[in-house]
């Protein structure tokens, strides 16, 4: 694994202030690459691992930290760039108390024995796991699109050695009518993501 690879990340978009990818207002980072090929996927253009824009992980981290919101990793599937997202998560954790959510098409059990992806898992507070299953589509679900997908409390799961579901306590439900599948962006990474280059040595 080269230093260059670890320190760069392919990003489709960064959205600040979103309320559909976890509780509260969050910064969502959409990484390129996914091979799950779920029928009915909201964003098949995100499957290409060479899509989006390659940027420094530190640039992304600085933009996230400057915004000051909790964070969601999505895509695509962040588990297709585990080293880059792990580094990003570690920088965020070292410089803030923001919580980190991550969406993945894998069920969490698959990640336990995969050292590269487990390293990312260990940086995550809540994992929204499992592929999107069109026949189980349910617009009333919180933060996910089909009934097979779970909100997993990752620290509790790792500590107890069994899947522990996350139960949100203080969320508002006004966005339930806006299914996540309809909202995920497909636009190129926003220019603001690279507007913080001059601060790149601050971390």
Q: Nearest distance from residue 81's CB to ligand SF4, in Å?
A: 13
Question: Based on CB atoms, which residue is closest to ligand SF4, 36 or 118?
Answer: 36
Report which secondary-structure segment, H or E, holds 17.
strand 8-18
Residues that bind ligand SF4 (rule: CB under 6 A) add up to a total of 13
Binding to ligand SF4, residues 25-54 (CB under 6 A): 34, 36-38, 41, 43, 46
Please state, in angstroms and rounded to a whole number, the distance separating the CA atoms of residues 170 and 143. Answer: 14
Please state, in angstroms and rounded to a whole number, the distance separating the CA atoms of residues 121 and 112. Answer: 8
User: Dihedral of CA 94/129/18/12: which sign?
Assistant: positive
Helix (H, G, I), strand (E, B) or coil at 100: strand
> Rule CB under 6 A: is residue 77 a binding residue for ligand SF4?
yes
Q: Encoding tokens for residue 113?
A: 């024995």
Q: Nearest distance from residue 149's CB to ligand SF4, in Å?
A: 9
Look at strands 70-74 and 126-129 and give their pairing.
unpaired
| CA distances (Å), origin 103, targets 30, 62, 66, 130, 145 | 10, 21, 23, 8, 11
Question: Based on CB atoms, which residue is closest to ligand SF4, 184 or 196?
Answer: 184
Closest residue to ligand SF4, judged by C-beta, is: 105
Q: Nearest distance from residue 34's CB to ligand SF4, in Å?
A: 3
Q: Nearest distance from residue 30's CB to ligand SF4, in Å?
A: 9
- Whether 54 contacts 84, CB under 8 Å: no
Question: Based on CB atoms, which residue is closest to ligand SF4, 23 or 130?
Answer: 130
Please state, in angstroms and rounded to a whole number, the distance separating the CA atoms of residues 27 and 3. Answer: 26
Q: Nearest distance from residue 116's CB to ligand SF4, in Å?
A: 17
Question: Based on CB atoms, which residue is closest to ligand SF4, 26 or 58?
Answer: 26
Question: Based on CB atoms, which residue is closest to ligand SF4, 55 or 79?
Answer: 79
Q: Encoding tokens for residue 171?
A: 């969320």
Give the footprint of ligand SF4 on this chain (CB under 6 A). Answer: 34, 36-38, 41, 43, 46, 75-77, 105, 131-132
């Amino acid at each position: 694994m080269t230093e260059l690879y670890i320190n760069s990340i392919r990003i489709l978009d960064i959205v600040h202030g979103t309320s559909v990818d976890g509780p509260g207002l969050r910064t969502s980072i959409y990484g390129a690459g996914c091979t799950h090929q779920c029928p009915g996927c909201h964003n098949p253009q995100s499957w290409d691992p060479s899509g989006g824009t390659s940027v420094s992980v530190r640039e992304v981290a600085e933009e996230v930290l400057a915004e000051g919101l909790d964070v969601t990793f999505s895509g695509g599937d962040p588990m297709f760039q585990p080293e880059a997202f792990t580094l990003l998560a570690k920088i965020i954790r070292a410089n803030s108390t923001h919580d980190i959510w991550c969406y993945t098409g894998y069920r969490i059990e698959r990640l336990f024995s995969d050292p590269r992806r487990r390293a990312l898992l260990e940086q995550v507070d809540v994992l929204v796991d499992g592929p999107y299953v069109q026949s189980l589509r349910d617009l009333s679900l919180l933060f996910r699109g089909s009934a097979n997908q779970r909100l997993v409390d990752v620290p509790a799961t790792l500590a107890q050695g069994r899947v522990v579901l996350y139960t949100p306590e203080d969320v508002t439900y006004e966005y339930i009518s806006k299914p996540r599948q309809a909202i995920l962006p497909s636009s190129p990474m926003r220019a603001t993501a690279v507007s913080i280059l001059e601060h790149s040595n601050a971390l």
